Amino acid sequence: MWAMRRGLCDALDCLDSGSCAAPCEGESSTDATVIETRHCYHDLNVYFSMDKQGWSKCEANYYIGGFYRSGSSLYQLQMFKCCSYKASRWSQCSDENWAAKFNAIGQARAPKHKFLVGLYRSKGHKLRDIDQAFTCGCVRGY
């Protein structure tokens, strides 16, 4: 996942969509080869970390591929689906400030060629309280 789109309301229900892509290698879109998924797991640690202020992240070299929620409040974001790719690892990771980008309807995204790895939430329980995203690129040869 490289972006998330939220609707008009501020409840977790208004997380409308995520933009997904797999990493690929090649010089152009005509000769690009998609890097195959190696492994996915459902991160149960998010069950506790999303209950309070702080970071929720996939394990090293895994990227967010989806979410599981049990209700409308941010603390009810229960799991991340985290996936890794064959012979690949994180590269050029950075924190992205989403405080203003995710306070209203619209899309917040990772920088070009990066994917979501984690989310930082503040004390509140609404979508506007997702203040940062941790993003990483992908490099082969691992």
Q: Where exactly are the structural domains of the chain?
A: 3-21+33-140
32-41 per-position pLDDT tens digit:
788 888 899 9
Any idea what DSSP says for residue 133?
E
Asked if 117 and 57 touch (Cβ cutoff 8 Å), the reply is: yes
Asked if 25 and 32 touch (Cβ cutoff 8 Å), the reply is: yes
Q: List, for the chain, all residue ranges whose pLDDT scores fall below the cut of 50.
A: none
Cα–Cα distance, 28 to 109 (Å, whole number): 22
- The pTM of this model reads 0.90
Question: How many other CB atoms sit within 10 Å of the CB of residue 99?
Answer: 14
Cα–Cα distance, 106 to 95 (Å, whole number): 20
Residues with Cβ within 8 Å of 27's Cβ and at least 6 positions away in sequence, in order, are none
Cα–Cα distance, 121 to 99 (Å, whole number): 10
